Amino acid sequence: MDLGLESSLWVGNKRYRAVLTGWHFRWTEVDKKNRDKKTVSVPVAEVVGVEEGRVEILPQKSVEDTDKDFTVFYVKRSSSGGSYGLLWRLGRIQFSCASRVLRDQWTKHLRTALKTHSPLRPHRLLVFINPFGGKKKGRQIYHSLVAPLFELAGISSHVIVTERANQARDHLLKKDLTGFDGVVCVGGDGMFSELLHGLIGRTQQEAGLCENDPAAALQPCPLHIGIIPAGSTDCVCYATVGVIDPVTSALHIIIGDSQPLDVCSVRQSSARVRYSVSLLGYGFYGDVLAESEKHRWMGPLRYDYSGTVVYLSNRSYSGVVQYLPADPLLSSPRDKTRCLAGCSVCSRSTERLFPHSSDSGSLYSSHFSQFSPGSEGQWVSVEGRFRCISLTCMSSSCARSPLGLSPSAHLADGTGDLVLVWDTHPLGFLKFLHRHTSTQDQFDLPFVEVHRVKAVRFSAPSGREEQEYEEIGGLSGETDEGQREYVDTVSRNGSRQHLAERAVTHEQKTATPFLCGLCCRKSPAVSVWNCDGEILPFTDIVCKIHGQLVRLYARGIEDGAAIRNSEERDECQRICIPNSFK
């Protein structure tokens, strides 16, 4: 069927020339002298629904069944104020036609175009609501803001309000999922993590693979994940959509946007594998999480409180970090670029990670072969004392840190960014933390390193080594002028090479007198790992990045400035973002 259609349509007493081409639906106001005025152009993929008659859904649904009218609902962008991404709202326009026949032609053509251009739109979704996440508004958010939109788009959803932690994960691991196109969580990063673990585990079970086997080539998950943000940090939502807004996220789900996401597997020899996408953090971020768990009753504020307590406790931890660098010719964590919707680095990675698949459909049948140490260089080993060690598969931007832990990290390039913050004086570390809240470069500090990696190993020192550190005057020891703060060794091809030695006096460390009292308390020898908001029950770990292991109903952060400029230039309200992942 030819999808194109063109005719005059009316909105009130204004006449429009409406055109449906393959990819766009446009309407241009025409004045009395037949001159074109403003055009609105909507990509067909962003049409939410088409209804006969004059239909409204807010504040509640009403249908006036007039036989020459039809209503089009579509995605309309607006600036988000503070955040980098754009807010999406439901746009609505009610057209009148010259005849009922023409009206039926328009609704039929638009619906057919929708089916043709949005193959990933979900029809049936499994929705998990955490009633206790964030400010405990999950149920309200879903029923008042999201469910009416799903209904309008003809999506049927099976909703489960969770009664315990890990219910969603267990459901995905064990129950029948036939007929569902995607899974949605209404909650925060912890709920997303449940879906992540459930879906990855289920996919490996069905592929006959053992996910705990470090040699297993994990299979990408066929079901998409949608996130309706209702948590405390909502980092995964923020970093993949650019705003924390349930309506925006619901619209991305409805139109079947598809954003692949890298996942880091975290293993300890005998323990069950865990997965992380946003923050695998040891030292500061591990301690903040452990402290914050004692204050869950504070809600989202628990992280601010715990962050302050942990910062003042002035801890650092020793350990050995080994990492396998990614190919430096492809990208760098300090190249000042940002991964935005349609990112070319991620698109090229899709070709590299799935060389034999020409479209996303066959992507799921291709086998993974991305972890090939030979092509990415050799393991590097560093040893010393760290304020924190963080590994993130994406920028991990959130409201606290709008550019994130690693602003130039990519969502779907098959790599993670490893940030090593060596022990330093408290004001230096405060400067590092504070830079996360602005556009200042947090990596441009002498005690900070960032590496783009494919895999990481960490081991904490044995009890004896730690004791030796204390004896030479570590953080808890007495003043030692010229004390060696850390020893940075690099092991290449087996030979250990001394790289740097930085002298920091006790006075420098305790430049602020009140901090001296706190820092001179004995530090615990080991911290804990924060794995996307969950404390890991082990310290020594082996991590590997699995490129594009899952897919979200998202498209990455839209460049608001570019869209606004193009609107001004074209007098178009909207442009189509190329989504190379579709």
Ligand X SMILES: Nc1ncnc2c1ncn2[C@@H]1O[C@H](COP(=O)(O)OP(=O)(O)OP(=O)(O)O)[C@@H](O)[C@H]1O
Ligand Y SMILES: CCCCCCCCCCCCC/C=C/[C@@H](O)[C@H](CO)NC(=O)CCCCC
401 binds, among ligand Y, Ca ion, ligand X, none (CB under 5 to 8 A by kind): ligand Y
392 contact partners, CB below 8 Å, separation of at least 6: 278, 279, 280, 404, 405, 406, 409, 416, 417, 419
Identified binder of ligand Y from the candidate list 274, 387, 436, 454, rule CB under 6 A: 436
Identified binder of Ca ion from the candidate list 262, 466, 485, 559, rule CB under 5 A: 262
Identified binder of ligand Y from the candidate list 85, 133, 246, 307, rule CB under 6 A: 307
Closest separation in Å from C-beta 277 to ligand X: 12
CB 533 within 8 A of CB 193: yes
Give the distance from CA 231 to its chain's centroid. 14
Q: What is the CA radius of gyration of the chain?
A: 26
Neighbours of 418 (CB within 10 A): 27
Q: Which residues bind ligand X (CB under 6 A)?
A: 130-134, 162-166, 187-191, 194, 231-234, 533
Closest separation in Å from C-beta 237 to ligand X: 8
Tally DSSP H helices, then E strands, for the chain: 16, 25
289 binds, among ligand X, ligand Y, Ca ion, none (CB under 5 to 8 A by kind): ligand Y
Residue 233 or 249: which CB sits closer to ligand Y? 233
- Among residues 553, 506, 220, the alpha carbon closest in space to that of 354 is found at 220
289 lies in the site for ligand Y, by CB under 6 A = yes
* Local structure of residue 187 (DSSP, 8 states): E
398 lies in the site for ligand Y, by CB under 6 A = yes
Active site residue 423: no
533 lies in the site for ligand Y, by CB under 6 A = yes
410 lies in the site for Ca ion, by CB under 5 A = yes
Residue 286 or 461: which CB sits closer to ligand X? 286
CB 98 within 8 A of CB 129: no
Catalytic residue among 69, 189, 234, 413: 189
- Rounded to whole angstroms, how far apart are CA atoms 424 and 63? 65
Task: Give, in order, the Cα–Cα distances in Å from 161 to each of 130, 152, 409.
Answer: 6, 22, 34
CB 218 within 8 A of CB 370: no
Closest separation in Å from C-beta 125 to ligand Y: 23
Identified binder of Ca ion from the candidate list 241, 264, 279, 393, rule CB under 5 A: 393
262 binds, among ligand Y, Ca ion, ligand X, none (CB under 5 to 8 A by kind): Ca ion
The full 3-state SS of 442-453, as one line of letters, equals CCCCCCEEEEEE
Identified binder of ligand Y from the candidate list 135, 434, 492, 496, rule CB under 6 A: 434
164 binds, among ligand X, Ca ion, ligand Y, none (CB under 5 to 8 A by kind): ligand X
Closest separation in Å from C-beta 234 to ligand Y: 7
Neighbours of 47 (CB within 10 A): 24
417 lies in the site for Ca ion, by CB under 5 A = no
Closest separation in Å from C-beta 429 to ligand Y: 10
528 lies in the site for Ca ion, by CB under 5 A = no
393 binds, among Ca ion, ligand Y, ligand X, none (CB under 5 to 8 A by kind): Ca ion
Identified binder of ligand Y from the candidate list 219, 233, 527, 548, rule CB under 6 A: 233
Residue 155 or 261: which CB sits closer to Ca ion? 261
Residue 185 or 341: which CB sits closer to ligand X? 185
73 lies in the site for ligand Y, by CB under 6 A = no
Closest separation in Å from C-beta 16 to Ca ion: 44
Identified binder of ligand Y from the candidate list 162, 278, 395, 510, rule CB under 6 A: 278
Q: How many CA atoms lie within 13 A of 151 on its CB side?
A: 12
389 lies in the site for ligand Y, by CB under 6 A = no
- Rounded to whole angstroms, how far apart are CA atoms 123 and 125? 7
106 binds, among ligand X, Ca ion, ligand Y, none (CB under 5 to 8 A by kind): none
CB 553 within 8 A of CB 226: yes
Identified binder of ligand Y from the candidate list 287, 532, 558, 559, rule CB under 6 A: 532
Which residue number has the CB closest to Ca ion?
A: 262
Beta strands (DSSP E) in 106-258 are 124-129, 156-161, 182-187, 224-229
Tell me the two tokens of residue 252: 């991305």
Tell me the two tokens of residue 467: 């004791």
Reduced to 3 states, what is the DSSP secondary structure of residue 308? helix
Which residue number has the CB closest to ligand Y?
A: 533
279 lies in the site for ligand Y, by CB under 6 A = yes
Closest separation in Å from C-beta 404 to ligand Y: 7
Residue 262 or 287: which CB sits closer to Ca ion? 262
393 lies in the site for ligand Y, by CB under 6 A = no
Beta strands (DSSP E) in 423-494 are 448-459, 484-492
547 contact partners, CB below 8 Å, separation of at least 6: 262, 349, 353, 368, 370, 412, 413, 414, 415
- Give me the helices (H) in 207-313, please: 235-241, 246-254, 284-293, 302-313
Query: Could you tell me how many residues make up the chain?
Result: 582
Binding segment for ligand Y among 394-402, 484-492, 521-529, 565-573 (CB under 6 A)? 394-402
- Rounded to whole angstroms, how far apart are CA atoms 544 and 414? 10
Start-to-end CA distance of the chain, whole Å, equals: 22
Closest separation in Å from C-beta 543 to ligand X: 20
- Rounded to whole angstroms, how far apart are CA atoms 25 and 541? 52
Tell me the two tokens of residue 156: 């049927």
Residue 515 or 536: which CB sits closer to ligand X? 536
Residue 141 or 326: which CB sits closer to ligand X? 141
266 lies in the site for ligand Y, by CB under 6 A = no
84 contact partners, CB below 8 Å, separation of at least 6: 242, 397, 402, 403, 557, 560
- What backbone phi and psi angles, to 5 degrees, belong to 298? -75, -10
Residue 254 or 261: which CB sits closer to ligand Y? 261
Residue ranges binding ligand Y (CB under 6 A): 188-189, 233, 235, 278-279, 285, 288-289, 303, 307, 396, 398, 400-401, 405, 430, 433-434, 436-437, 530, 532-533
Residue ranges binding Ca ion (CB under 5 A): 262, 393, 410, 413, 415
Catalytic residue annotation: 189
